[in-house]
Structure 1
Amino acid sequence: MIRWALAFLFTANFAAAQVSIDPDRTSVSDGWWTLEVIVGLNQITPYRVFTLAEPRRLVIDIEGASFAGLDATELLSGDRAADVRFGALRPGWSRMVVDLAEPLIVAEAGMVSVPEGADLTILLDQTSPEVFAATAGAPPDPGWDVVTGFDPKVAQELAQSEDFVVVIDPGHGGIDAGAVRGGIKEADLMLLMGAELAVMLNAQEGVQSVMTRDIDTFVPLSARLTFAREVGADLFISLHADALEEDAVRGATIYTLPTGGGTAAAQRHVERHERGDLLAGVDLNNADDRIATALMDLARAETGPEARRIADALVASMQAQGVLMNNTPRREGLFAVLTAADFPSVLVEAGFLSNAEDRAVLATAEGRARIARAIRDTVVLLAR
């Protein structure tokens, strides 16, 4: 039985230009007993197709593709697909994810030349929940699991350096835009803030900073921690700016891993942040085991108390810089990026994009600089 469908098609010059997608030739529609997905391309290019469970979804990766100009709401027709989204996955690859409203299995997948370029057609048949679960799963390609684009030699030099190494983790990216309010994407804003912070930190003697991503690309949560280990991180800082249903909530918050189970509100906050791996079609079947292992390691380490001390210092430093803080500026949450046992990690919620005042502040260089200066001052004290 086919566990996944995978196809790589090559032409002599497929990488010479960006692959565009024609909205008029792209659709996700019901057949009699099937779901048909057609992606109209301007040229033949490598691709791969597979399904994932919990929730059920079809994943389509296309090399070199740009989804610019596509409207997800106009692609759907019928009831077997609940939603569709797309975006950058990693350098050189884009991803389309189709949420399945019922168990469907890939029956056919192929790309053929047409006068306009090429059509990728995927046909899914109805199946049982048991068969779907048994056949779903990402292709066994470990190279897709850890995507940093970072030179291993540079990583080794950093790991062996005596400098204080700070890993800056701009949240979300690529297919996972994070919160979107007032025309501002959390992924874009945090990438800008991360780059500004990196410049400020690298100007300090004895401090070196690196970013888990420096372009708009998707990086799985586990890969961000793997990257931090590769460079020998002394501190991991994840940057976010969430959006809530209530637009009155505002102000910066610093999160660390909970010493207990955390509150229900904190867990909902975590779920909002970490839905990106699901949106991108990452296979999370083993995520709970990874987190549990990291938490057990953490109980034997000193990085948990150290992270809490750093978070407390960040709050004080931000207040000194005039950063508006949330009414509860110190919180705890079971974020995957905070579960590493071998270095202290904090998550900085710079503000809330759902609040117009926070949004206006974070949209300015000076508003972001206040937070960056507070982080810099804290890091300088740690690096002494």
Structure 2
Amino acid sequence: MIKQKNIIILIALLVLNLVLSPLLSLVSFTSPAYAQSASQPAPQPASEPDVPDEPLTAKSLRLGAIEEHTRVVVELTEAADYKLFTLSNPYRAVIDLPETIWDIPDTIQDKGLVSGIRFGPFKPGQGRIVVDLRGPVNVHKHFILPPSVAIKNYRLVIDFEPATIASFRQVKPTVSEKVSDTVSDKVAVTAPISKPAPSLAPQFTAPTGEFTPKPRPRKTRKIIVIDPGHGGVDPGATGARSREKDIVLAFSKELSRQLKSTRRYDVYMTRATDIYIPLRQRVQIARNRKADLFISIHADAIKKKNIRGLSVYTLSEKASDREAAALARKENQSDIIAGVDFGDQLPEVANILIDLAQRDTKNASVKFAESLISSARGKTVLLDRTHRFAGFRVLKAPDVPSVLVELGFITNRTDEKQLTSIKWRRTVASGMVDAIDNYFRQK
């Protein structure tokens, strides 16, 4: 009996377990503690903190010249809005950007119509690029290119072309233009150029107002402006195998290199490529730079092919001889050859403006000419009556001592061979550096 009872109790417990198990599970699933935790959202992974957008950055700058046009290309990290306008006295183009980091290596170089580029903050939230120009220009076109397969940055492209003073003054502020990536920013010759030291950052008033620069620090180096004659559409004199414009550019670059290597002079060239600069603008470049000395480099030509030798000219009310007068007339025709129209200025240009040349400037020019001749003696053949006088337009800066050097006669076979010789260029340029040193040492 007892055994049967135990079996019955065991069966009853099994049945009870089968009945109660689902109920217990339901109670457990809906327990307040679990229900509370189930109502809360599932934990989410910690989110990354917000990262602000990177500021606009200028990553590189290229400068190129082809024929008479000069192109400036600024690579930017984004397609920023910009404003472009031009100013005069001195000539320059201004590009206003949003606040910009100028992340460009320091390598200084000028090219074509551009003599330098500066960058600095203009006001809070705005950066300013200033393109120093050799003379009046027109902005031929400007636009922004999107990134391409080869170039990951946006490119601000500005093309300059030579202009007259009148057309330069007509340029008004213009704003951003964007074009498709089918347009190229390539130029014939490109080279990076630099940001200046912060102390050289430009200081401007509003574009429509007067520009009043802060007083410049007192200059410690003498400023030399070298003027390679002719260029572009004006080849100058032509020899059997060479052209004057090429000879004088090569010589001017060598003279500039040697002067800069002394670290005693700031040296500028009116042109560094094969472009044409009107005569008056060459003089104005020297005056705008507040030059201490202006040296115009040329090569002579004459029908008598046996004539050879270097000569130096300074400004005079009366030409020293008929040959000097004829040479001045020929050189002064350069603007006409290049198609420059002076309009009603021609009568003024035709006159010799010796009254504008102050006595001290004229005397200083003569003094430097004599120093040049002394240093050149023994380094190259000198023309008889080496120091001559004539009314060259490029010698008419009233406040800058100026000389015009005829390196030799491109029409003479021996002179032409020397004029194209690297060794000869270095030797004669070295003599000119000595003459410049002596000139300033005696002042």
Q: In which range does the TM-score fall when normalised by the shorter chain?
A: 0.5 to 0.7
Residue 235 of structure 1 corresponds to 293
- State whether structure 2 residue 204 is matched by structure 1 residue 178: no
- State whether structure 2 residue 401 is matched by structure 1 residue 344: yes
CA contact (8 A) 2:227 2:282 kept: yes
Q: Which runs of 5 or more structure 1 residues have no equivalent in the other structure?
A: 1-17, 20-89, 94-137, 145-149
Q: 2:253 aligns with which of 181, 186, 195?
A: 195
Residue 142 of structure 1 corresponds to 168
Residue 297 of structure 1 corresponds to 356
Once residues 237 and 296 of structure 1 are traced to their aligned partners in structure 2, the CA distance between those partners, rounded to angstroms, is: 21
Once residues 158 and 246 of structure 1 are traced to their aligned partners in structure 2, the CA distance between those partners, rounded to angstroms, is: 51
**After the TM superposition, which residues 1-384 of structure 1 pair with which residues of structure 2 at under 5 Å, given as runs?**
140-142=166-168, 161-285=219-343, 286-290=345-349, 292=351, 294-298=353-357, 300-320=358-378, 322-384=379-441
Q: CA deviation at 1:284?
A: 3.2
Could you say if the C-alpha distance between residues 263 and 287 of structure 1 is closer, same or farther in structure 2, counting changes exceeding 3 Å? Answer: farther
Once residues 158 and 291 of structure 1 are traced to their aligned partners in structure 2, the CA distance between those partners, rounded to angstroms, is: 36
Once residues 231 and 179 of structure 1 are traced to their aligned partners in structure 2, the CA distance between those partners, rounded to angstroms, is: 29
Once residues 139 and 260 of structure 1 are traced to their aligned partners in structure 2, the CA distance between those partners, rounded to angstroms, is: 30
Q: CA deviation at 1:212?
A: 0.2
Could you say if the C-alpha distance between residues 317 and 143 of structure 1 is closer, same or farther in structure 2, counting changes exceeding 3 Å? Answer: farther
Once residues 410 and 353 of structure 2 are traced to their aligned partners in structure 1, the CA distance between those partners, rounded to angstroms, is: 31
CA deviations over 1:187-224 (Å, ceiling 9, x no partner): 01111110010000011132121100000000000000
Letter aligned with residue 167 of structure 2: D
CA deviations over 1:119-138 (Å, ceiling 9, x no partner): xxxxxxxxxxxxxxxxxxx8
**Partner SS, residue 374 of structure 1:** helix
CA deviations over 1:318-337 (Å, ceiling 9, x no partner): 004x2111122111111001
Structure whose alpha-carbon radius of gyration is higher = 2
Residue 9 of structure 1 corresponds to none
CA contact (8 A) 1:164 1:206 kept: yes
Could you say if the C-alpha distance between residues 208 and 244 of structure 1 is closer, same or farther in structure 2, counting changes exceeding 3 Å? Answer: same
Aligned residues: 247
CA deviations over 1:229-253 (Å, ceiling 9, x no partner): 1111000000000211111110000
Could you say if the C-alpha distance between residues 143 and 169 of structure 1 is closer, same or farther in structure 2, counting changes exceeding 3 Å? Answer: farther
CA deviations over 1:2-37 (Å, ceiling 9, x no partner): xxxxxxxxxxxxxxxx99xxxxxxxxxxxxxxxxxx
Once residues 169 and 233 of structure 2 are traced to their aligned partners in structure 1, the CA distance between those partners, rounded to angstroms, is: 18
Q: CA deviation at 1:161?
A: 2.4
CA contact (8 A) 1:294 1:341 kept: no
Letter aligned with residue 398 of structure 2: A
Q: Which runs of 5 or more structure 2 residues have no equivalent in the other structure?
A: 1-65, 68-136, 141-163, 171-192, 203-212
Once residues 138 and 330 of structure 2 are traced to their aligned partners in structure 1, the CA distance between those partners, rounded to angstroms, is: 25
Q: CA deviation at 1:380?
A: 1.3
Could you say if the C-alpha distance between residues 162 and 360 of structure 1 is closer, same or farther in structure 2, counting changes exceeding 3 Å? Answer: same
**Partner SS, residue 184 of structure 1:** coil
CA deviations over 1:53-101 (Å, ceiling 9, x no partner): xxxxxxxxxxxxxxxxxxxxxxxxxxxxxxxxxxxxx8999xxxxxxxx
Q: CA deviation at 1:294?
A: 4.2
Normalised by the length of structure 2, the TM-score is 0.51
